[in-house]
Amino acid sequence: MGRNSLIAIPGIGSAFHVQAIVTNGGFEYTHKDTGTHKPGERCKGCKKCIEACPTSAILEGGRIDPNKCLRAISEKDPVPYEYEALLGSRLLGCDVCQSVCPVNCCFDPLPEPEYPLKALLNGEITELKYAIGPNYARVNKLKKKASVVAANLDRQDLLEDIRQQCEADDASVAAAMKHALERLEEHK
């Protein structure tokens, strides 16, 4: 496990998802070359993830402050206003710590895809549902995330779509859209 709290597999790196680990015991951290080690020890003197983290969420000992981590924050509902701009165009959160980690050096980082914001704002999520999985592809959640990204990217072309969603039946969607509308109108 690295400083960024992610498990890395030799030859694969840390860019993978574990769906579940069921155990009643603890984990022993081992590496064939170095023997047992503690979180962050395999990183030796490297602190690239700590230095690159936009919110300083990576703590010593392989721990993350979930109240600062943009990946964790992006799952909050709603995303706290003070973190919205830091998300930039990232609809699904942040992976900066993975992109700078040397254990992932053999892999080209995937570019942040251009999401169909107009479609997402209008609840059309079928295309994205298969890419990110049904557990993450919730219509109202994606509408709110799309409104944050639209405001971050100053997408004035989406003002009318956002304005229409300000009258959404779901109060949290309406509030997110009103906030995005305010942010966009500030930039007019």
pLDDT digits (tens, 9 = 90+) for 68-83: 999 888 877 788 889 9
> pTM for the complete prediction?
0.77
Give all strands (DSSP E) within the chain, no chain letters: 30-31, 35-36, 58-59, 63-64
pLDDT digits (tens, 9 = 90+) for 103-114: 887 666 556 667
pLDDT surpassing 70 at residue 28: no
pLDDT digits (tens, 9 = 90+) for 127-178: 777 777 777 778 898 999 999 999 999 999 999 999 999 998 999 999 999 9
Of 182 and 43, more confident: 182
Task: Please state, in angstroms and rounded to a whole number, the distance separating the CA atoms of residues 65 and 58.
Answer: 6
Give the number of other Cβ atoms within 10 Å of residue 5's Cβ.
19
**Every domain of the chain and the residues it spans:** 1-112, 113-188
